[in-house]
């Protein structure tokens, strides 16, 4: 998908169309393909972008969330000051589950 310009544009355009009537304050993308799609969607919607990274990858103070995997658990983090209280976040990930 990422190496196909028409496919990539189509995926981004579809996500933008799906969420263009939403009232989001910011887009967040989960590492790593969520950065690519989320950044493009944020740009098209004229919103800011928050990278959601694996634990230990971000500098400064972070907040995290642990989640279950088939084989254990993992944690993702954002900067502690990345989201204003009450902000509406559009979360972009490459995993549809």
Task: Say if 97 falls within a structural domain.
Answer: no
Task: Say if 35 falls within a structural domain.
Answer: yes
Active site residue 33: yes
Q: Which domain holds residue 32?
A: 5-92
Average confidence (pLDDT) over 48-71: 96
Q: Which of 9, 31, 70, 88 is catalytic?
A: 70
pLDDT tier, 97 (very low <50, low <70, confident <90, very high otherwise): low
Task: Say if 12 falls within a structural domain.
Answer: yes
Tens-place pLDDT, residues 22-37:
999 999 999 989 999 9
Q: Show the tokens assigned to 11.
A: 């995926």
Active site residue 9: no
Q: Is 75:30 a contact under the CB 8 Å cutoff?
A: no
Q: Is 30:90 a contact under the CB 8 Å cutoff?
A: no
Task: Say if 17 falls within a structural domain.
Answer: yes
Task: Say if 47 falls within a structural domain.
Answer: yes
Task: Say if 30 falls within a structural domain.
Answer: yes
Cα distance between residue 63 and residue 78, in whole Å: 6
Task: Say if 40 falls within a structural domain.
Answer: yes
Q: How many domains does one find in the chain? A: 1
Average confidence (pLDDT) over 72-89: 97
Which CATH number goes with the domain that contains 59?
A: 3.40.50.2020
According to DSSP, the residues that pair with 69 across neighbouring strands are 72
Residue with tokens 């983090």: 77
Q: Which of 31, 33, 66, 88 is catalytic?
A: 33
């Amino acid at each position: 998908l990422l190496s196909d310009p028409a496919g990539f544009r189509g995926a981004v355009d579809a996500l933008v169309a799906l969420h263009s009537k939403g009232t989001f304050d910011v887009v967040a993308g989960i590492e790593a393909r969520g950065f690519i799609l989320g950044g493009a969607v944020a740009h098209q919607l004229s919103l800011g972008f928050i990278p959601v990274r694996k634990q230990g990858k971000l500098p400064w103070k972070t907040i995290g969330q642990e989640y279950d995997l088939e084989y254990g658990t993992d944690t993702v983090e954002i900067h502690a000051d990345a989201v204003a209280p009450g902000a509406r976040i559009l979360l972009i990930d490459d995993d549809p589950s």
